[in-house]
């Protein structure tokens, strides 16, 4: 049996009987997950490997703490990995601060007038490409702070027309402003000055919405315009709320309004707002316009091409080889699978080899896009498989395909390749069903006598995304990964997810229903798991005095708060020491009755500390996830602090924008289909 399909209970049972074999199975099943979680905080592959090894070591030596009835194994390992990664990240930051104190003012003075002139020229050139009606929509959206619906009403145009023009305009700008977008994302004073000079954005004091460049160039749907403008108060650059801390981990967010509103329900026809009960337009016809390329996924913009690798390409030297096995382009993302192999057993170790070989970026003509995701899997003692993604890529629509694309590596190697065009078909040509939050597309086929169904999420491009595995959350928790189909005679068949692993690069999975006779069936989807990125939330707490803010913080789809902090009894050997322990309970709920929050991944803590290299606490304190009671909305964490090395009175719990919240949309689907 494939290890990915082996039940956690079976692995744990083997671990108790044969620790070496059990750990091998555990690592084979969850290494990709731990690698993905760690890579959110640390970038060096060797540091990530160290974090992965430390995570499995931590679990092995303290495996008795794991309670399967309180948490899934995937969620438990994720919490350990994140704590290890954050700890390692902070340790690296402290080392950097010891070695050098970078003077930001001196760096700013070194900005050359030539670079500023080039930026101004790039922006002027990009703006000149827009038609007058497109430029008008861009100014109304980003200068005047109007939503797409408000723009449509003002111009007396259909909502869909304004939405398409907006998307087209942003994509045009994106092709010329790729480098500028990266600079705008970090809000450098240089780029801000150029954008103000051209009146692309208003003065800081006139902003009605935080100027945040998103990960993709495509605009957000109406739900963001209608909901988040009401939930988030006006925010101005410079309102940092104190001394700036580490990026994307500790930033404070102003209190959001509406946190104390009563729970809302989702009606069959409209999704109420958290405030004022305003319905959100989530018409299924938007998703019916999508196309699909079987084997590659759903394309949310039918005007955009889909490409796949024309043929495999290899580069070699006397020490190692690199082979591009697969690559495809869809939804402005390039996903590439690369095989790295040693040429002989006398070359340096994998550790030394991988330090010099890492995927850097992909380039086409004068454009280049940095890698945004990578996973690594060992095939054997001399072969590794790398899967990398490049987001926000924009390739031209060419009937003959794309030539001379290059993937560059930190070692100086590069692989040049070509991509051929892939045919697209309307989603409506396949069995599918849509609802107010999204939908499901099913593409059945027979393969060696077994029924295989590729099940694709259909997202409506709001802030919530359907998890690729549909019925389990992003970390693999939820239920057994089993779906059912029902025949005309009432016979049911169970389908199991093929090669499942959480938090990967997949946008959909295939399910194997075994030997099934030709005929008519219904695919039964009992519910759908959805995910969204967390807001930046900062929750101060003083465990010593048992004090914290009695406040509920809003995030997409729900609220979170500190519910309790309970001192724990010390062990006999710790009674006279400075080590103290607490059980911290975090409460959460959903703003939608039939779309409850099931959990979140990424809660961290921080406090002032004086770490000792000889102490078992790297930072003077440790916080571990204990359990998640999704039914009652309670996460439990255990905090251990050495008072000689840390100050719990300065402690705060926080979420960053890289963290994830999961919700379960209790909407069932029955999708009819026929197989011949």
Who has greater pLDDT, 14 or 324?
324
State how far the Cα of 179 lies from the Cα of 377, in Å rounded to an integer.
32
Indicate the pLDDT class of residue 169, thresholds 50, 70 and 90.
Answer: confident
Q: Are residues 509 and 471 in the same domain?
A: yes
Indicate the pLDDT class of residue 4, thresholds 50, 70 and 90.
Answer: low
Phi/psi of residue 333, nearest 5 degrees: -130, 135
Indicate the pLDDT class of residue 356, thresholds 50, 70 and 90.
Answer: low
State how far the Cα of 297 lies from the Cα of 427, in Å rounded to an integer.
11
CATH number at residue 63: 1.10.1740.10
Who has greater pLDDT, 211 or 509?
509
CATH number at residue 500: 2.60.40
- What pLDDT was estimated at residue 434? 87
Structure tokens at 642: 């050495």
* Alpha helix ranges (H) inside 62-72: none
Q: Where is average pLDDT lowest: 172-176, 493-497, 613-617?
A: 613-617
Structure tokens at 257: 């309004």
Kindly state the percentage of the chain with pLDDT values over 70: 72
Q: Is the pTM of this model over 0.85?
A: no
Question: What is the DSSP annotation of 436-452?
Answer: SSEEEEEEEEEETTEEE
Q: Are residues 444 and 515 in the same domain?
A: yes
What value does the mean pLDDT take over residues 390-416?
91
Give the bridge partners for 455, in sequence order: 442, 509
Where in the sequence is the domain holding 384, given as residue range(s)? 303-421
Does the structure show a pLDDT above 50 at 231? no
- What pLDDT was estimated at residue 157? 82
Burial class of 624 by CB neighbour count within 10 A (0 to 12, 13 to 18, 19+): middle
Q: Are residues 150 and 75 in the same domain?
A: no
Does the structure show a pLDDT above 90 at 162? no
Of the residues 473, 505, 529, the one at which a domain ends: 529
Q: Are residues 393 and 484 in the same domain?
A: no
Q: Are residues 432 and 350 in the same domain?
A: no
- What pLDDT was estimated at residue 173? 72
Who has greater pLDDT, 652 or 473?
652
pLDDT tens-digit map of 84-120: 888 888 777 777 776 666 555 555 556 655 666 666 6
* Alpha helix ranges (H) inside 100-158: 104-109, 113-128, 132-138, 148-155
Q: Are residues 601 and 633 in the same domain?
A: yes
- What pLDDT was estimated at residue 571? 64
Q: Are residues 399 and 433 in the same domain?
A: no
State how far the Cα of 24 lies from the Cα of 452, in Å rounded to an integer.
30
Q: Are residues 11 and 62 in the same domain?
A: yes
Q: Are residues 119 and 215 in the same domain?
A: yes
Of the residues 484, 514, 529, the one at which a domain ends: 529
Who has greater pLDDT, 228 or 594?
594
**Mean pLDDT, all residues of the chain:** 76
CATH number at residue 137: 1.10.10.10
Strand order in the sheet with 646-655: 547-548, 537-542, 646-655, 604-609
Q: Are residues 567 and 582 in the same domain?
A: yes
- What are the Cα distances from residue 60, in Å, to 15, 19, 23, 29, 80? 9, 9, 8, 15, 12
State how far the Cα of 188 lies from the Cα of 453, in Å rounded to an integer.
48
Structure tokens at 519: 């005929």
What value does the mean pLDDT take over residues 489-499?
90
Question: How many other CB atoms are found less than 10 A from the CB of residue 260?
Answer: 9
Q: Which of 305-314, 362-371, 621-630 is most confident?
A: 305-314
Q: Tokens 């794309």, residue?
A: 402
Does the structure show a pLDDT above 70 at 193? no
State how far the Cα of 217 lies from the Cα of 411, in Å rounded to an integer.
30
Q: Are residues 186 and 88 in the same domain?
A: no
Q: Is residue 232 part of a domain?
A: no
Nearest to 176, CA basis, from 231, 218, 233, 119: 119
Q: Is residue 159 part of a domain?
A: yes
State how far the Cα of 56 lies from the Cα of 53, in Å rounded to an integer.
5
8 Å CB contact between 282 and 271: yes
Q: Where is average pLDDT lowest: 124-138, 161-175, 344-358, 406-420?
A: 344-358
- What pLDDT was estimated at residue 75? 84
What value does the mean pLDDT take over residues 506-511?
91
Q: Is residue 416 part of a domain?
A: yes
Q: Is residue 264 part of a domain?
A: yes
Indicate the pLDDT class of residue 243, thresholds 50, 70 and 90.
Answer: very low
Q: Are residues 540 and 651 in the same domain?
A: yes
Who has greater pLDDT, 355 or 300?
300
Structure tokens at 550: 């009695």
Task: Report how many domains make up the chain.
Answer: 5
State how far the Cα of 610 lies from the Cα of 28, in Å rounded to an integer.
37
State how far the Cα of 551 lies from the Cα of 581, in Å rounded to an integer.
24
Does the structure show a pLDDT above 90 at 333? yes
Q: Is residue 377 part of a domain?
A: yes
Of the residues 529, 552, 578, the one at which a domain ends: 529
- What are the Cα distances from residue 410, in Å, to 316, 321, 364, 407? 15, 14, 18, 10
Q: Is residue 234 part of a domain?
A: no
What value does the mean pLDDT take over residues 383-394?
90
State how far the Cα of 154 lies from the Cα of 230, in Å rounded to an integer.
20
- What pLDDT was estimated at residue 171? 75
Phi/psi of residue 414, nearest 5 degrees: -150, 145
pLDDT tens-digit map of 549-603: 889 999 988 999 999 999 987 666 555 567 889 999 999 999 888 899 988 888 8
State how far the Cα of 28 lies from the Cα of 10, in Å rounded to an integer.
14
Does the structure show a pLDDT above 50 at 72? yes
Q: Is residue 233 part of a domain?
A: no
Structure tokens at 216: 């993709």
């Amino acid at each position: 049996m494939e290890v990915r399909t082996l039940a956690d209970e079976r692995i744990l049972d083997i671990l108790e009987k044969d620790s070496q074999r059990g750990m091998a199975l555990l690592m084979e099943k969850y290494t990709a997950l731990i690698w993905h979680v760690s890579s959110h905080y640390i970038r060096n592959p060797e540091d990530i490997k160290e974090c992965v090894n430390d995570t499995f070591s931590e679990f092995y030596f303290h495996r008795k703490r794991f309670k399967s009835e309180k948490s899934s194994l995937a969620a438990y390992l994720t919490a350990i990995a994140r704590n290890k990664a954050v700890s390692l990240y902070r340790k690296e930051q402290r080392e950097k601060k010891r070695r050098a104190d970078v003077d930001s003012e001196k760096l700013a003075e070194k900005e050359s007038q030539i670079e500023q002139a080039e930026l101004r020229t790039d922006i002027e050139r990009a703006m000149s490409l827009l038609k007058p009606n497109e430029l008008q929509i861009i100014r109304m959206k980003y200068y005047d702070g109007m939503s797409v619906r408000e723009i449509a009403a003002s111009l007396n145009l259909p909502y869909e027309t304004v939405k398409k023009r907006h998307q087209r305009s942003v994509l045009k700008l994106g092709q010329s402003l790729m480098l500028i977008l990266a600079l705008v994302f970090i809000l450098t004073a240089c780029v801000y000055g150029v954008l103000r000079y051209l009146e692309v954005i208003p003065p800081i004091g006139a902003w009605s919405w935080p100027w945040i460049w998103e990960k993709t160039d495509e605009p957000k749907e109406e739900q963001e315009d209608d909901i988040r403008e009401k939930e988030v108060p006006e925010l101005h650059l410079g309102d940092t709320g104190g001394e700036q801390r580490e990026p994307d981990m500790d930033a404070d967010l102003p209190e959001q309004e509406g946190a104390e509103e009563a729970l809302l329900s989702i009606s069959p026809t409209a999704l109420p707002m958290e405030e004022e009960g305003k319905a959100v337009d989530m018409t299924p016809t938007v998703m019916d316009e999508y196309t699909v390329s079987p084997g590659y996924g759903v394309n949310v913009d039918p005007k955009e091409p889909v490409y796949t690798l024309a043929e495999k390409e290899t580069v070699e030297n006397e020490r190692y080889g690199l082979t591009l096995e697969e690559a495809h382009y869809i939804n402005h993302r390039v996903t590439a699978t690369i095989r790295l192999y040693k040429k002989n057993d006398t070359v340096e170790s994998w550790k030394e080899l991988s330090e010099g070989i890492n995927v850097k970026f992909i380039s086409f003509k004068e454009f280049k896009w940095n890698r945004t995701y990578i996973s690594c899997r060992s095939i054997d003692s001399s072969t590794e498989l790398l899967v990398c993604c490049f987001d926000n890529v924009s390739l031209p629509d060419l009937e003959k395909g794309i030539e001379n694309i290059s993937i560059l590596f930190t070692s100086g190697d590069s692989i040049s390749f070509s991509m051929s065009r892939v045919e697209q078909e309307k989603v409506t040509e396949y069995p599918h069903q849509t609802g107010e939050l999204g939908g499901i597309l099913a593409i059945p086929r027979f393969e060696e006598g077994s029924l295989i169904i590729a099940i694709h999420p259909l997202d409506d491009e709001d802030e919530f995304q359907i998890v690729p595995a549909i019925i389990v959350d992003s970390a693999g928790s939820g239920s057994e990964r089993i779906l059912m189909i029902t025949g005309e005679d009432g016979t049911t068949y169970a389908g199991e997810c093929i090669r499942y692993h959480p938090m990967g690069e997949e946008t959909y999975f295939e399910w194997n229903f075994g030997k099934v006779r030709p005929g008519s069936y219904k695919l039964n989807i009992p519910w759908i798991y959805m995910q969204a990125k967390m807001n930046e939330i900062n929750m101060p707490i003083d465990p010593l005095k048992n004090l914290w803010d009695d406040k509920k913080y809003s995030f997409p789809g729900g609220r979170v708060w500190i519910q309790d902090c309970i001192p724990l009894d010390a062990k006999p050997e710790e009674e006279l020491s400075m080590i103290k322990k607490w059980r911290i309970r975090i409460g959460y709920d959903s703003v939608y009755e039939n779309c409850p929050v099931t959990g979140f991944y990424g809660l961290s803590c921080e406090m002032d500390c004086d770490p000792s290299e000889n102490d078992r606490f790297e930072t003077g304190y440790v916080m571990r996830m204990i359990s998640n009671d999704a039914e009652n909305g309670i996460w439990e964490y255990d905090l251990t602090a050495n008072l000689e090395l840390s100050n719990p009175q300065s402690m705060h719990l926080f979420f960053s924008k890289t963290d994830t919240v999961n919700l379960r949309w209790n909407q069932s689907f029955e999708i009819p289909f026929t197989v011949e």
